[in-house]
Amino acid sequence: MTQQHSFTHAENELLPKFRKRINEAESTEDVKKAFVYSMQDLFKTVSEGRLDLRAEDVGLNPEKDSFLLSDGLQSHDDFAKVWNDTDLPRIVASFTELALHQYKHLAKNPAKTEAKIRM
């Protein structure tokens, strides 16, 4: 049986900043950007700087209620080590769930969001 490493400490460290980012989002695009920035921070932290994600390496996929990982990232050796032997998939899924909730909330009433932006 293999031992799985946990990155709960990184999750707990980044979660408040992430929540603040998505709660301050004024549009669905802002939520997507907040998700990407937070995932970049998360992956950099858990890989101890070996994984420096580009914006196109990870994304929110509201149409499928999930997240996207680029093929280049998935084929990276350091990514495979961190992804397969840790609780990182659960953490990313948790961040995704929060982002999707806010995304759907903002998408329901775009007129209200537009009015808020113009104030």
5-59 pLDDT, tens digit each = 789 999 999 999 999 999 999 999 999 999 999 999 999 999 888 888 888 999 9
The secondary structure of residue 5, as a DSSP letter, is: B
0.85 exceeded by pTM: yes
d(C-alpha 46, C-alpha 56), whole Å: 19
Domain ranges within the chain, ordered by starting residue: 8-118
Strand locations in the chain, DSSP E?
58-61, 66-69
Contact, 7 vs 86, CB < 8 A?
A: yes
